[in-house]
């Protein structure tokens, strides 16, 4: 669809009940199914972490309390939640038909998520440098797997946001762009939710045990 959708010009984009055949609603439903499958993957990782998070599986190496830093994890939590807030402001701007608002909101989300990933990468590389990489023990293997899996999802989200910046700048708010922006919002909120679980379960409970 070459013509940009002006704010409020097509109520089907914002009110799924108005048209049961709304293509954006159909895509969003399909994306929810993907998120459910992704949630199962993380549930399996958390279950594995629960099994391996003990001194026996540390194989003489460090346990959670010796490698996680709750304060740094809290900074990461603020960064990822701030990123979600910034992206949410972008979707508000989208509903108002403001390209500039969307672009600024997405850029803010990218910067804050970059801070989040930078802190995480620094911690993991530091562990590897001191000989506590994922091959050291069963515990470290699942710790790295959980953190890196979430980090890769965040990297994918950043790449997706970069693509959307280009599409918004070039084509505005056509049906395809709006659908992708809404699905990206779901994806980003899901990743923030996963990180909150990681922070509470790994950084708080593990860091003070």
In this prediction the pTM is 0.83
From residue 175, alpha-carbon distances to 4, 111, 165 in Å are 8, 27, 15
Of residues 57 and 101, more confidence is placed in: 101
Could you tell me which CATH number the domain at 37-207 has? 1.20.120.80
207 and 70 in contact (C-beta within 8 Å)?
yes
Residue 91: name the closest of 15, 177, 190 by CA.
177
The two tokens of residue 196 are 């909150």
Q: Domain limits of the chain? A: 37-207
Confidence of residue 136 (pLDDT cuts 50, 70, 90): confident
DSSP 6: -
* Residues contacting residue 135 through CB under 8 Å, at least 6 positions apart: 141
- Structural Rg of the chain based on CA atoms: 20
Q: What is the pLDDT of residues 69-124, one digit of tens each?
A: 899 999 999 999 999 999 999 999 999 999 999 999 999 999 999 999 999 999 99
What's the pLDDT score for residue 13?
Answer: 45
């Amino acid at each position: 669809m070459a013509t940009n959708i002006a704010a409020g010009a097509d109520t089907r984009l914002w009110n799924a009940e108005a048209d049961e055949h709304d293509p954006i609603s159909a895509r969003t439903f399909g994306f929810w199914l993907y998120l459910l499958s992704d949630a199962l993957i993380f549930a399996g990782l958390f279950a594995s972490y629960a099994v391996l998070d003990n001194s026996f599986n540390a194989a003489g190496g460090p346990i959670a309390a010796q490698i996680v830093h709750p304060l740094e994890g809290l900074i990461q939590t603020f960064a990822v939640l701030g990123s979600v807030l910034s992206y949410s402001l972008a979707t508000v701007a989208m509903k108002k038909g403001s390209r500039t608002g969307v672009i600024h909101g997405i850029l803010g989300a990218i910067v804050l998520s970059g801070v989040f990933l930078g802190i995480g990468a620094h911690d993991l590389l530091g562990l590897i440098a001191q000989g506590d990489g994922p091959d050291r023990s069963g515990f470290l293997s699942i710790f790295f797997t959980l953190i890196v899996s979430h980090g890769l999802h965040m990297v994918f989200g950043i790449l997706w946001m970069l693509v959307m910046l280009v599409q918004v700048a070039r084509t505005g708010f056509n049906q395809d762009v709006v659908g992708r922006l809404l699905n990206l919002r779901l994806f980003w909120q899901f990743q923030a939710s996963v990180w909150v679980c990681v922070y509470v379960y790994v950084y708080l409970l593990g860091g003070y045990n």
